[in-house]
Amino acid sequence: MNKYFKRFFELILKKNKIKIIGIVFSIILFGCGRYVVNAPEDLSPKPVKKSNPTKTSTEKIKISNSKPHYRFLRIDYTETGIASWYGSKFHGKYSASGEKYNMHELSAAHKYLPIGTLIKVEDLETGKTIKVTVKDRGPYIDGRIVDLSRAAAKKIGYFKRGITKVKLTVLKLPETFPNYFVLQMGLFSNKENAVDLQKKIVKEHFPAFIVKTKNEIFRLVVGPFTSEKKAIEYQERLQNHGFEKGLVKIFTLD
């Protein structure tokens, strides 16, 4: 009887081999952070060899000498929008800073402010404020501008509410800042179309977000990446998930 059971399981294993390999690959690829790009270099998927990036792709610039398109690199830069928080699901996993996320520490995730930026977050519903350091990337839901750690959300008072409207203010910036590159996935006159594609990309754990330009155009990008080389690597990864590879661009809010 045992040999029949053995043959039965061998057939099942053979039939589902591709699925099992896919599951294992997904665990390896996405298990180290909230989004693929958040993994530190030594834990991220093996890079795909592509054309050589420009010599200045990894150059770090001084905040005081930053180019105009990095208008968020200034003290007192502000944003207003929705804040959320993240907790146990990501506790102990690697963040974009390369550190393991600790939900008991006061920290924040932002889509593009430099890692290490000190910000003040004011809950516009209660007037309470908190100072936190940006250590991760996100959130990637339209309308949300910052994710606080579980501890920070508790301290400022919106933990039970889940989300709240906030004003974010930059208090301190790191001395240097790497050039930012993104993959531009499309330009949309209709925001709903941009949001639909964003949801599909984020569902595959890629960090996609929307920038509204001065001309009322909605630009969907994936990133940011701290080198042109990294952006090029992710073009193929996006294609492997059925998306267009996108255009490599220097990041700008305009």
pLDDT in tens, 65-103: 555 567 888 899 999 999 999 999 999 999 888 899 999
Task: Give me the chain's average pLDDT, please.
Answer: 80
The residue-averaged pLDDT of 145-164 equals 95
CA distance 111 to 69: 16
Break the chain into its structural domains and give their ranges: 1-30, 34-57+179-250, 60-176
151 in Cβ contact with 105 (< 8 Å): yes
For 60-176, CATH number out of 1.10.760.10, 2.40.40.10, 3.40.50.720, 3.40.50.920 equals 2.40.40.10
Residue pLDDT, tens place only, 231-243: 999 999 999 999 9
Angle between helices 17-30 and 2-15 (to 10 degrees): 60
Examine domains 34-57+179-250 and 60-176 and report if their fold is the same. no
Max avg pLDDT among 4-8, 50-54, 179-183, 213-217: 179-183
Which amino acid belongs to residue 73? L
The residue-averaged pLDDT of 27-55 equals 37
Specify the higher pLDDT residue, 51 or 176.
176
Q: What's the pLDDT score for residue 62? A: 59
Cis peptide before 224 (omega within 30 of 0): yes
58 in Cβ contact with 227 (< 8 Å): yes
Q: Is the pLDDT of residue 30 over 90?
A: no
Residue pLDDT, tens place only, 205-217: 999 999 998 888 9
Cα–Cα nearest to 204, from 30, 27, 25, 85: 30
Span of 35-44, 149-158, 160-169, 231-240 with lowest mean pLDDT: 35-44
pTM: 0.74
Which CATH code for domain 34-57+179-250? Answer: 3.30.70.1070
Specify the higher pLDDT residue, 147 or 178.
147
Which amino acid belongs to residue 207? P
Q: State both tokens at 252.
A: 């700008």
Specify the higher pLDDT residue, 46 or 232.
232
Q: Is the pLDDT of residue 247 over 70?
A: yes
CA distance 77 to 98: 25
Task: At 183, give phi and psi (nearest 5°).
Answer: -105, 115
72 in Cβ contact with 66 (< 8 Å): no
